[in-house]
Structure formats: structure tokens, C-alpha cells
Amino acid sequence: MVPINWTNQSKSDLKGVAEYVSRDSVRYAKNQLFRIRKKTSIFRKHPHSGRIVPEFETSEIRELFKGNYRIIYRLVNPQRIDILTIHHSSRRKKNIEE
């Protein structure tokens, strides 16, 4: 199983999701974070499960969707995956630190 590394950016993104959603419901915010984290667990056994991110056109940077959120990750090597960012699809695209 491949270990997953949450980058500082992705941790900050999760915090932002929690803060935004908790304005309406703390319970829903916790549930949303749980669902996002659970979705990333598929990477441990199936690291290539996401599609290649069109903006990068490289097989190392991939994404999966959970609801309206893009989970963008990088296959660093066979022993490590970095979650790069969690991005709401309705927001303007941001630069992803590689």
C-alpha cells in the first residue's frame, strides 16, 4: 500500500473547506471532510485511479472528484503520493505547487 502525504497546501485547503461549510453546519463540515479523506484512501491500493489533470498533461498529476471538490494528487514514486490540493470546482483555478 502506498502512503499518502498531505501537503501544506492540501491541509490548508481542507481547513478552508471546513471553515466555509461550518458557517452553515458544523456537522456537515465534519461529514464533508470525512468523505474527502475517505475518497483519497483509494490511492493506497489504486494510485492510478484518477484521471490525468488536463491542465498539466503529465501522468504523474491526477485527480479524482468528490462531489464538487477536485482532489489533485501527484504520484511522486511507487512509495509515495502527495495530495496537492482540494479545490472546489466552481472556484477559479489556482496554481498548484509542484
State the amino acid at position 78 in one-letter form: P
- Taking Cα atoms as reference points, which of 44, 40, 45 lies closest to residue 64? 40
Residue 62 counted as domain residue: yes
d(CA 45, CA 2): 7
Residue 97 counted as domain residue: no
57 band by pLDDT with thresholds 50, 70 and 90: confident
Residue 93 counted as domain residue: no
Least confident of 20-24, 37-41, 56-60, 69-73: 56-60
Residue 94 counted as domain residue: no
Residue 71 counted as domain residue: yes
Least confident of 8-17, 35-44, 72-81, 87-96: 87-96
Residue 69 counted as domain residue: yes
The C-alpha cell that represents 25 in the structure block: 453546519
The C-alpha cell that represents 51 in the structure block: 484521471
- Owning domain of residue 81: 4-88
Over range 56-80, report the average pLDDT.
92
How many independent structural domains does the chain possess? 1
Q: What is the CATH number for 33?
A: 3.30.2310.20
